[in-house]
Structure 1
Amino acid sequence: MARKCDICGKGPQVGNNVSHANNRTKKRSLPNLKSKLVEVNGKPMRIKICTGCLRTLDKVS
């Protein structure tokens, strides 16, 4: 399962956890994805959508 928004393409980001001793370890920040049933060309389709796009979609609809 790809952790990517079907609308905006937002995906995982990579960064570092930095400790007080300045040790660096890799971390991954995943987007907040939700599954939503929407109509595409008159057919219901389940898509993975980030919460930012979900709020915009609710505002437009």
Structure 2
Amino acid sequence: MAQTCEFCGKGPQFGNNISHAHNVTRRRWNVNLQAVKAVVNGASKRIRVCTSCIKSGKVVKA
């Protein structure tokens, strides 16, 4: 399952792990997704949305 918010489309961001010896390896920061029962087009549906969408009130919980 993709790590993207079904409401705003926010996905993981990529960057580098940098150790004390400055060894650089790739890493990713995943979105904080929650499974929420929300109202979508008048019907309640289970969707995975990020916490920023829930906190801002974009998602109407069922």
TM-score (norm: length of structure 2): 0.84
Question: Does 2:8 correspond to 1:8?
Answer: yes
For the residue of structure 2 that corresponds to 1:20, the secondary structure is: coil
For the residue of structure 1 that corresponds to 2:57, the secondary structure is: helix
Question: Does 2:29 correspond to 1:34?
Answer: no
- Matched residue type, 1:33: L
TM-score (norm: length of structure 1): 0.85
Structure 2: tracts of 5 or more residues without a match: none
- Matched residue type, 2:12: P
Superposition misfits of 4+ residues, deviation over 2 angstroms: none
Q: CA RMSD in A?
A: 1.9
State percent identity of aligned pairs.
48
Counterparts of 2:41 and 2:26, CA distance in 1: 42
- Matched residue type, 1:23: N
Aligned length: 60
